[in-house]
A = this chain, B = another copy of it.
Amino acid sequence: MKDFNIMRDLLEDNKRLAEANHEILLSKGIFTINLLGSPGAGKTTLLEMLIRELKDEIGIAVIEGDLYTSNDADRIEKENIQVVQLNTKGVCHLEANMVKEALAELDLKDIDLLVIENVGNLVCTASFDLGEDIKITVLSVTEGTDKPIKYPLIFQKSKIVVVNKMDLLAHTDFSLDKFYQDIRTLGEDIKVFEVSCIGNQGIEEFASYLKKLIKENKLAGEKN
């Protein structure tokens, strides 16, 4: 049982640190998203689209998780918002202590939305909370209909699932019917957006839903 205990300790330490991160973010009125998905699901492109849709009205900062490179952070930096790169140096997921370090590098004033883009991984990323308000998982139709059932935890923990690359739907055997059926067994209340970043489909609807969540977060913060 040794390995099991090590893992449990790691997760408990992480939980404490995630709660501390959440306290800080809450006190600054920042709504925080943990953005998840497979490698190549289209997380960074979706994030670029979102930023363009929201940045005139909403203060946005991004923490970019990656194993070794700063490729994604370089892309986000072009949107002229604050970005911090976190290199996990081979670890397959972000942990709360890494995010704590990144928060120290951000100017949290005038930020309404913080997006933490996690490492591309459908497994361990689901187990390590970072201090976020919600998790969003991006699933591209090219990955196949079977993914929610094969990787249930990450979908169960997501408030929103974005079905991405809808422009490729006709070229795949992805079944939206089966997807909705499976996703409902994993969570009655999971909100789904069908999106294409190339076809600019569903982005506006997704962005305005997030705007609503960010506004509710602000109001809740002011009441406290």
Chain A interface residues (CB < 8 Å from chain B):
3, 6, 10, 38-40, 66-69, 71, 90-92, 119-124, 127, 140, 142-144, 146-147, 149-153, 165, 167-168, 171-172
- Given the interface pairs A90-B123, A168-B168, the reply to whether A151 lies near B71 with Cβ below 8 Å is no
CB <8 Å contact, B150 and A92: no
Contact B71 A147 (CB under 8 A): no
Q: Which residue of B lies closest to A10 (CB)?
A: B3
- Within 8 Å CB of A123, what residues of B? 67, 90-92, 119, 121
| Contact residues in B for A167 (Cβ distance below 8 Å) | 171
Contacts of A92 in B (CB 8 A): 92, 121, 123-124
Q: State in angstroms the CA–CA spacing of A122 and B93 once bound together.
A: 12
Decide if B142 touches A40 in the complex (CB within 8 Å).
yes
Closest Cβ neighbor of A88 among chain B residues: B123
Q: Which of B38, B69, B119 contacts A40 (CB 8 A)?
A: B38
**Which chain B positions have C-beta within 8 A of A67?**
123, 150-152
Q: Which residues of B contact A172 (CB under 8 A)?
A: 168
Among A69, A127, A142, chain B packs the most CB atoms within 10 A around the CB of A142
B120 & A71 in contact (Cβ 8 Å cutoff): no
Q: How far is the CA of A8 from the CA of B25 in the complex (A)?
A: 35
Determine the chain B residues whose CB is within 8 A of the CB of A40 once the complex forms.
Answer: 38, 140, 142-144, 147
Q: How far is the CB of A87 from chain B (nearest CB, A)?
A: 11
Give Cα A218–Cα B3 distance, bound, in whole angstroms. 38
Cβ contact within 8 Å between A152 and B68 = yes
Docked-complex contact B39 and A147, CB < 8 angstroms: yes
Q: Which residue of B lies closest to A149 (CB)?
A: B69
Q: Which residue of B lies closest to A71 (CB)?
A: B146
Q: How far is the CB of A204 from chain B (nearest CB, A)?
A: 22
